[in-house]
Structure 1
């Protein structure tokens, strides 16, 4: 038994998404909101602990499917770090997105070296962070 990688949510519910994601966030998304963000992503890659069935790492991309994609989140649970899971998730996602013109992500300077090792280049960018919305916003009108 070990870690398996999947690109679909089949059989994954919010109960498999608990355990420490969004570490350090003062207002993290609930497991149900976390599931929703994965469901609405253009592409996802999941790392699953075969023994527990729980998701221990993930990466998501949002995209127009034509020219561009943005990778907003890559996380591996703290107790699973150092096993190459983040690298494997990133490589799997970059492989899936390779037909697009641009793949962008924003990250803190302390992890830029990690992404350089994955074949990405340093760039500049701009952002806005509405920390009061950090737990997530679900537009119920989209579900009508």
Structure 2
């Protein structure tokens, strides 16, 4: 598995199969925009097929804080350590910041305990009509 921290060479065609279960997922073109516009991105690529198998993104002010909104691994590649490697690499990328926040469903908290993240409470708002991405045309 190849890991890279840039979107160089990534095309929408390489982003097939993500956002499984989302009722209104972003298109592959919007997905690429998400990766390109993130403060930091780590992408896992299967070298034999040149397909993206997983990714993680962070948004940040670049000074004090960062938020990790997305971690995805394709279903056929789960349980192979790809997600763990993506999180590890992203935390290394953000290591010089004071605050790194991540929101997850309660059933996923055990997974993130292994990365020395602390459980917390938070509030969220979701505008599901924009789940596929804001129209920027």
TM range (shorter): over 0.9
Pairs aligned (count): 137
> TM-score, structure 1 length as denominator?
0.93
- Offset of residue 138 of structure 1: 4.2
1:40 to 30, 37, 40: 37
> TM-score, structure 2 length as denominator?
0.98
Task: Show the counterpart of 1:84.
Answer: 81
Runs of 4+ in 1 over 4 A off after TM superposition: none
- Offset of residue 137 of structure 1: 0.9
Task: Show the counterpart of 2:133.
Answer: 136
Secondary structure of 2:66 counterpart:
strand
Secondary structure of 1:65 counterpart:
coil
Task: Show the counterpart of 1:16.
Answer: 14
| Mean Cα deviation higher: 59-68 or 116-125 | 116-125
1:7 and 2:5 aligned: yes
Structure 2 gap segments, 5+ residues each: none
Is contact 1:97-1:103 (8 Å) kept?
yes
Structure 1 gap segments, 5+ residues each: none
- Offset of residue 10 of structure 1: 1.0
2:105 to 108, 112, 124: 108
Deviations 1:41-82 (A, max 9, x none): 000000000011010000000000000000000000000000
Q: Distance in 2 between matches of 1:7 and 1:54?
A: 15
Q: Distance in 1 between matches of 2:39 and 2:96?
A: 14
Task: Show the counterpart of 2:95.
Answer: 98
- Offset of residue 139 of structure 1: 2.9
